[in-house]
Structure 1
Protein backbone atom coordinates (compact mmCIF):
# COMPACT_ATOMS: atom_id res chain seq x y z
CA UNK A 1 0.00 0.00 0.00
CA UNK A 2 2.83 2.39 0.88
CA UNK A 3 4.54 1.62 -2.42
CA UNK A 4 1.31 2.40 -4.31
CA UNK A 5 0.97 5.72 -2.50
CA UNK A 6 4.60 6.62 -3.23
CA UNK A 7 4.26 5.70 -6.92
CA UNK A 8 1.01 7.66 -7.28
CA UNK A 9 2.54 10.70 -5.55
CA UNK A 10 5.66 10.59 -7.76
CA UNK A 11 3.58 10.33 -10.92
CA UNK A 12 1.24 13.13 -9.85
CA UNK A 13 4.10 15.40 -8.81
CA UNK A 14 5.99 14.78 -12.02
CA UNK A 15 2.98 15.41 -14.23
CA UNK A 16 2.11 18.58 -12.29
CA UNK A 17 5.67 19.87 -12.70
CA UNK A 18 5.50 19.40 -16.47
CA UNK A 19 1.90 20.60 -16.82
CA UNK A 20 2.94 24.27 -17.02
CA UNK A 21 3.83 23.96 -20.70
CA UNK A 22 1.50 23.35 -23.64
CA UNK A 23 2.92 19.89 -24.31
CA UNK A 24 1.46 16.72 -22.90
CA UNK A 25 3.68 14.49 -20.82
CA UNK A 26 3.82 10.82 -21.70
CA UNK A 27 4.77 8.56 -18.82
CA UNK A 28 6.47 5.29 -19.68
CA UNK A 29 6.81 2.69 -16.94
CA UNK A 30 9.51 0.27 -18.02
CA UNK A 31 9.39 -3.03 -16.14
CA UNK A 32 11.82 -5.90 -16.25
CA UNK A 33 10.30 -9.28 -16.83
CA UNK A 34 9.88 -11.02 -13.48
CA UNK A 35 12.16 -13.81 -12.30
CA UNK A 36 11.48 -17.22 -13.79
CA UNK A 37 12.24 -20.76 -12.68
CA UNK A 38 15.53 -22.23 -13.82
CA UNK A 39 13.59 -23.94 -16.61
CA UNK A 40 11.84 -21.14 -18.55
CA UNK A 41 9.00 -23.47 -19.52
CA UNK A 42 8.16 -23.81 -15.81
CA UNK A 43 7.03 -20.17 -15.62
CA UNK A 44 7.72 -17.60 -12.95
CA UNK A 45 9.46 -18.49 -9.72
CA UNK A 46 7.84 -17.73 -6.35
CA UNK A 47 9.93 -14.53 -6.24
CA UNK A 48 8.78 -13.71 -9.78
CA UNK A 49 5.12 -14.13 -8.81
CA UNK A 50 5.74 -11.82 -5.83
CA UNK A 51 7.40 -9.26 -8.13
CA UNK A 52 4.42 -9.41 -10.47
CA UNK A 53 1.96 -8.99 -7.61
CA UNK A 54 3.90 -6.01 -6.21
CA UNK A 55 4.10 -4.38 -9.64
CA UNK A 56 0.37 -4.83 -10.21
CA UNK A 57 -0.38 -3.42 -6.75
CA UNK A 58 1.91 -0.44 -7.40
CA UNK A 59 0.03 0.31 -10.63
CA UNK A 60 -3.45 -0.37 -9.22
CA UNK A 61 -4.42 3.31 -8.97
CA UNK A 62 -2.59 4.53 -12.05
CA UNK A 63 -4.55 5.15 -15.22
CA UNK A 64 -2.55 2.88 -17.52
CA UNK A 65 -3.68 3.40 -21.12
CA UNK A 66 -1.70 0.60 -22.79
CA UNK A 67 0.55 -2.32 -21.94
CA UNK A 68 3.35 -3.43 -24.26
CA UNK A 69 5.41 -6.56 -23.84
CA UNK A 70 7.89 -8.67 -25.70
CA UNK A 71 6.61 -12.11 -26.64
CA UNK A 72 8.60 -14.02 -24.02
CA UNK A 73 6.85 -16.17 -21.43
CA UNK A 74 8.21 -14.39 -18.32
CA UNK A 75 7.43 -10.94 -19.76
CA UNK A 76 3.88 -11.91 -20.71
CA UNK A 77 3.34 -13.41 -17.25
CA UNK A 78 4.70 -10.23 -15.65
CA UNK A 79 2.07 -7.97 -17.23
CA UNK A 80 -0.87 -10.39 -17.34
CA UNK A 81 -2.28 -9.50 -13.88
CA UNK A 82 -2.12 -5.77 -14.67
CA UNK A 83 -3.68 -6.29 -18.10
CA UNK A 84 -6.50 -8.29 -16.50
CA UNK A 85 -7.00 -5.63 -13.82
CA UNK A 86 -7.12 -2.84 -16.41
CA UNK A 87 -8.99 -5.01 -18.96
CA UNK A 88 -6.34 -4.22 -21.56
CA UNK A 89 -4.91 -6.69 -24.01
CA UNK A 90 -1.11 -6.53 -24.02
CA UNK A 91 0.36 -5.36 -27.29
CA UNK A 92 3.41 -7.33 -28.39
CA UNK A 93 6.39 -5.49 -29.76
CA UNK A 94 9.56 -6.75 -31.36
CA UNK A 95 12.96 -6.08 -29.79
CA UNK A 96 15.84 -5.76 -32.17
CA UNK A 97 19.52 -4.99 -31.72
CA UNK A 98 19.31 -2.52 -34.58
CA UNK A 99 19.11 0.86 -32.87
CA UNK A 100 17.28 2.61 -35.70
CA UNK A 101 14.53 -0.01 -35.81
CA UNK A 102 14.22 -0.12 -32.01
CA UNK A 103 14.01 3.67 -31.85
CA UNK A 104 11.36 3.71 -34.57
CA UNK A 105 9.20 1.13 -32.75
CA UNK A 106 9.52 3.03 -29.48
CA UNK A 107 8.79 6.36 -31.16
CA UNK A 108 5.59 4.92 -32.65
CA UNK A 109 4.50 3.55 -29.25
CA UNK A 110 5.07 6.91 -27.55
CA UNK A 111 3.37 8.91 -30.32
CA UNK A 112 0.31 6.65 -30.19
CA UNK A 113 0.05 7.26 -26.45
CA UNK A 114 1.02 10.93 -26.17
CA UNK A 115 -0.10 12.38 -22.85
CA UNK A 116 -0.91 8.97 -21.36
CA UNK A 117 0.75 6.48 -19.04
CA UNK A 118 1.91 3.23 -20.58
CA UNK A 119 3.76 0.13 -19.40
CA UNK A 120 6.54 -1.46 -21.45
CA UNK A 121 7.82 -4.83 -20.26
CA UNK A 122 11.04 -6.22 -21.61
CA UNK A 123 14.35 -7.84 -20.92
CA UNK A 124 16.77 -5.93 -18.69
CA UNK A 125 19.24 -5.64 -21.56
CA UNK A 126 16.83 -3.61 -23.70
CA UNK A 127 15.32 -1.17 -21.24
CA UNK A 128 18.40 1.09 -20.84
CA UNK A 129 18.65 1.47 -24.62
CA UNK A 130 14.95 2.32 -24.84
CA UNK A 131 15.24 4.87 -22.01
CA UNK A 132 18.17 6.51 -23.80
CA UNK A 133 16.11 6.57 -27.01
CA UNK A 134 13.49 8.59 -25.16
CA UNK A 135 16.08 11.18 -24.17
CA UNK A 136 17.28 10.01 -20.76
CA UNK A 137 21.02 10.60 -20.47
CA UNK A 138 23.15 7.45 -20.39
CA UNK A 139 24.69 8.44 -17.06
CA UNK A 140 21.24 8.85 -15.53
CA UNK A 141 20.15 5.43 -16.80
CA UNK A 142 23.27 3.80 -15.33
CA UNK A 143 22.74 5.43 -11.95
CA UNK A 144 19.01 4.70 -11.71
CA UNK A 145 18.47 1.43 -13.47
CA UNK A 146 19.12 -1.98 -11.95
CA UNK A 147 18.99 -4.81 -14.47
CA UNK A 148 17.70 -7.39 -12.00
CA UNK A 149 14.29 -8.97 -12.24
CA UNK A 150 11.52 -7.05 -10.58
CA UNK A 151 12.79 -3.53 -11.27
CA UNK A 152 11.01 -0.74 -12.97
CA UNK A 153 11.93 2.68 -14.23
CA UNK A 154 9.52 5.56 -14.76
CA UNK A 155 10.34 7.92 -17.61
CA UNK A 156 8.36 11.08 -18.30
CA UNK A 157 8.74 12.25 -21.89
CA UNK A 158 8.07 15.72 -23.26
CA UNK A 159 7.51 16.21 -26.96
CA UNK A 160 10.84 18.02 -27.34
CA UNK A 161 12.84 14.84 -26.59
CA UNK A 162 13.40 15.82 -22.97
CA UNK A 163 12.98 13.00 -20.50
CA UNK A 164 13.11 12.62 -16.73
CA UNK A 165 13.59 9.21 -15.11
CA UNK A 166 12.83 7.88 -11.63
CA UNK A 167 13.65 4.49 -10.19
CA UNK A 168 11.31 2.33 -8.16
CA UNK A 169 11.86 -1.20 -6.97
CA UNK A 170 9.16 -3.85 -6.77
CA UNK A 171 10.94 -5.58 -3.92
CA UNK A 172 9.34 -3.90 -0.91
CA UNK A 173 12.18 -4.98 1.44
CA UNK A 174 14.82 -3.00 -0.45
CA UNK A 175 15.18 0.73 -0.04
CA UNK A 176 14.99 2.80 -3.19
Structure 2
Protein backbone atom coordinates (compact mmCIF):
# COMPACT_ATOMS: atom_id res chain seq x y z
CA UNK A 1 0.00 0.00 0.00
CA UNK A 2 2.83 2.37 0.85
CA UNK A 3 4.64 1.64 -2.42
CA UNK A 4 1.41 2.20 -4.32
CA UNK A 5 0.87 5.57 -2.63
CA UNK A 6 4.42 6.70 -3.40
CA UNK A 7 4.25 5.50 -6.99
CA UNK A 8 0.88 7.18 -7.50
CA UNK A 9 2.23 10.46 -6.11
CA UNK A 10 5.32 10.36 -8.30
CA UNK A 11 3.35 9.27 -11.35
CA UNK A 12 0.88 12.12 -10.83
CA UNK A 13 3.79 14.54 -10.63
CA UNK A 14 5.23 13.18 -13.85
CA UNK A 15 1.88 13.33 -15.62
CA UNK A 16 1.33 16.93 -14.56
CA UNK A 17 4.76 17.93 -15.82
CA UNK A 18 4.26 16.20 -19.15
CA UNK A 19 0.86 17.82 -19.60
CA UNK A 20 2.02 21.35 -18.78
CA UNK A 21 5.20 21.40 -20.81
CA UNK A 22 8.91 21.65 -20.11
CA UNK A 23 8.71 22.50 -16.40
CA UNK A 24 10.80 20.02 -14.44
CA UNK A 25 9.38 18.90 -11.12
CA UNK A 26 11.89 17.99 -8.46
CA UNK A 27 10.60 15.51 -5.91
CA UNK A 28 12.13 15.76 -2.45
CA UNK A 29 11.41 12.90 -0.07
CA UNK A 30 12.13 14.10 3.45
CA UNK A 31 12.56 11.30 5.97
CA UNK A 32 12.91 11.57 9.71
CA UNK A 33 15.84 9.67 11.12
CA UNK A 34 14.55 6.31 12.37
CA UNK A 35 14.00 5.54 16.04
CA UNK A 36 17.16 4.80 17.99
CA UNK A 37 17.88 2.89 21.19
CA UNK A 38 17.70 4.75 24.50
CA UNK A 39 21.49 4.98 24.32
CA UNK A 40 22.14 6.65 20.95
CA UNK A 41 25.53 5.00 20.54
CA UNK A 42 23.73 1.63 20.48
CA UNK A 43 22.22 2.43 17.08
CA UNK A 44 18.69 1.99 15.81
CA UNK A 45 16.07 0.24 17.90
CA UNK A 46 14.21 -2.75 16.51
CA UNK A 47 11.37 -0.39 15.59
CA UNK A 48 13.91 1.89 13.88
CA UNK A 49 15.33 -1.00 11.86
CA UNK A 50 11.77 -1.90 10.81
CA UNK A 51 11.14 1.73 9.78
CA UNK A 52 14.33 1.75 7.72
CA UNK A 53 13.44 -1.55 6.06
CA UNK A 54 9.94 -0.31 5.18
CA UNK A 55 11.29 2.99 3.86
CA UNK A 56 13.83 1.22 1.66
CA UNK A 57 11.22 -1.24 0.40
CA UNK A 58 8.82 1.62 -0.38
CA UNK A 59 11.47 3.30 -2.54
CA UNK A 60 12.72 0.09 -4.17
CA UNK A 61 11.19 0.98 -7.55
CA UNK A 62 11.63 4.75 -7.35
CA UNK A 63 14.51 6.23 -9.33
CA UNK A 64 16.32 8.09 -6.55
CA UNK A 65 19.08 10.28 -7.98
CA UNK A 66 20.74 11.38 -4.71
CA UNK A 67 20.58 10.79 -0.98
CA UNK A 68 21.38 13.56 1.49
CA UNK A 69 21.69 13.09 5.23
CA UNK A 70 22.89 14.88 8.30
CA UNK A 71 25.97 13.35 9.88
CA UNK A 72 24.18 11.84 12.88
CA UNK A 73 24.34 8.11 13.55
CA UNK A 74 20.59 7.43 13.41
CA UNK A 75 20.19 9.44 10.18
CA UNK A 76 23.14 7.73 8.48
CA UNK A 77 21.75 4.32 9.52
CA UNK A 78 18.29 5.29 8.23
CA UNK A 79 19.53 5.86 4.67
CA UNK A 80 22.26 3.18 4.62
CA UNK A 81 20.07 0.37 3.18
CA UNK A 82 18.68 2.68 0.46
CA UNK A 83 22.23 3.86 -0.32
CA UNK A 84 23.34 0.26 -0.73
CA UNK A 85 20.32 -0.64 -2.86
CA UNK A 86 20.83 2.35 -5.17
CA UNK A 87 24.63 2.17 -5.00
CA UNK A 88 24.70 5.86 -4.07
CA UNK A 89 26.99 7.35 -1.48
CA UNK A 90 25.02 9.62 0.84
CA UNK A 91 25.98 13.27 0.67
CA UNK A 92 26.26 14.88 4.09
CA UNK A 93 24.84 18.32 4.72
CA UNK A 94 25.08 20.54 7.75
CA UNK A 95 21.98 21.65 9.64
CA UNK A 96 22.22 25.20 10.84
CA UNK A 97 19.88 27.37 12.86
CA UNK A 98 20.56 30.24 10.50
CA UNK A 99 17.56 30.34 8.17
CA UNK A 100 19.39 32.04 5.32
CA UNK A 101 22.23 29.48 5.33
CA UNK A 102 19.82 26.54 5.59
CA UNK A 103 17.74 27.87 2.71
CA UNK A 104 20.85 28.41 0.59
CA UNK A 105 22.06 24.83 1.18
CA UNK A 106 18.62 23.45 0.34
CA UNK A 107 18.33 25.64 -2.74
CA UNK A 108 21.69 24.34 -4.01
CA UNK A 109 20.61 20.73 -3.41
CA UNK A 110 17.35 21.22 -5.31
CA UNK A 111 18.95 23.11 -8.21
CA UNK A 112 21.63 20.44 -8.58
CA UNK A 113 18.90 17.77 -8.82
CA UNK A 114 16.31 19.65 -10.87
CA UNK A 115 13.74 17.29 -12.35
CA UNK A 116 14.91 14.33 -10.27
CA UNK A 117 13.82 12.54 -7.12
CA UNK A 118 16.04 12.93 -4.07
CA UNK A 119 15.94 11.82 -0.45
CA UNK A 120 16.86 14.14 2.42
CA UNK A 121 17.15 12.59 5.88
CA UNK A 122 17.24 14.78 8.96
CA UNK A 123 15.94 15.47 12.40
CA UNK A 124 12.19 16.03 12.69
CA UNK A 125 12.74 19.58 13.97
CA UNK A 126 14.37 20.68 10.70
CA UNK A 127 12.13 19.11 8.08
CA UNK A 128 9.15 21.51 8.45
CA UNK A 129 11.47 24.52 8.03
CA UNK A 130 13.06 22.94 4.97
CA UNK A 131 9.65 22.16 3.44
CA UNK A 132 8.53 25.76 4.04
CA UNK A 133 11.73 26.93 2.38
CA UNK A 134 10.73 24.95 -0.73
CA UNK A 135 7.36 26.73 -0.84
CA UNK A 136 5.04 24.43 1.11
CA UNK A 137 2.58 26.55 3.05
CA UNK A 138 3.00 26.47 6.84
CA UNK A 139 -0.64 25.43 7.33
CA UNK A 140 -0.13 22.43 5.05
CA UNK A 141 2.93 21.34 6.99
CA UNK A 142 1.08 21.51 10.30
CA UNK A 143 -1.67 19.25 9.00
CA UNK A 144 0.59 16.85 7.07
CA UNK A 145 3.72 16.47 9.11
CA UNK A 146 4.15 14.49 12.31
CA UNK A 147 7.52 14.86 14.01
CA UNK A 148 7.74 11.25 15.16
CA UNK A 149 10.39 8.93 13.83
CA UNK A 150 9.26 6.79 10.94
CA UNK A 151 7.57 9.62 9.07
CA UNK A 152 8.32 11.00 5.69
CA UNK A 153 7.05 13.85 3.61
CA UNK A 154 7.07 13.99 -0.17
CA UNK A 155 7.43 17.50 -1.58
CA UNK A 156 7.08 18.19 -5.30
CA UNK A 157 8.85 21.42 -6.18
CA UNK A 158 7.33 22.99 -9.28
CA UNK A 159 9.44 26.14 -9.35
CA UNK A 160 8.60 29.75 -8.56
CA UNK A 161 8.37 28.83 -4.86
CA UNK A 162 5.41 26.55 -5.60
CA UNK A 163 5.44 23.18 -3.87
CA UNK A 164 2.96 20.44 -3.00
CA UNK A 165 3.43 18.10 -0.04
CA UNK A 166 2.03 14.70 0.89
CA UNK A 167 2.59 12.83 4.15
CA UNK A 168 3.35 9.13 4.25
CA UNK A 169 4.00 6.98 7.30
CA UNK A 170 6.50 4.13 7.13
CA UNK A 171 4.54 2.25 9.78
CA UNK A 172 1.36 1.66 7.74
CA UNK A 173 2.65 -1.72 6.61
CA UNK A 174 3.84 -2.66 10.08
CA UNK A 175 3.12 -6.21 11.15
CA UNK A 176 0.59 -6.64 13.94
Decide: shared fold, TM above 0.5. Answer: yes
What pairs with 1:33-52 in structure 2 (closer than 5 Å)? 33-52=33-52
Note the alpha carbon deviations across 1:28-74, whole angstroms, 9 max, x for none.
Answer: 00000000000000000000000000000000000000000000000
Partner of 1:11: 10
List structure 1 segments (4+ residues) > 2 angstroms apart after TM superposition.
none
CA distance in 2, matches of 1:21, 1:173: 36
Question: Aligned residues, how many?
Answer: 173
Q: Offset of 1:173 from its aligned partner?
A: 5.0
The CA deviation at 1:162 is 0.4
Aligned mates of 1:142, 1:55 — CA distance in 2: 22
Match of 2:149 in 1: 149
Structure 1 residues 1-176: aligned runs within 5 Å: 2-19=1-18, 20-172=20-172
In structure 2, C-alpha distance between the alignment counterparts of 1:60 and 1:134, rounded to whole Å: 25
Report the CA distance between 1:160 and its aligned residue.
Answer: 1.3
SS in structure 2 opposite 1:24?
A: coil
SS of the residue corresponding to residue 121 of structure 1 reads: strand
Cα deviation, residue 18, structure 1:
3.1
Say what the alpha-carbon RMSD is for the aligned residues: 1.0
CA shift at 1:158, angstroms?
Answer: 1.4
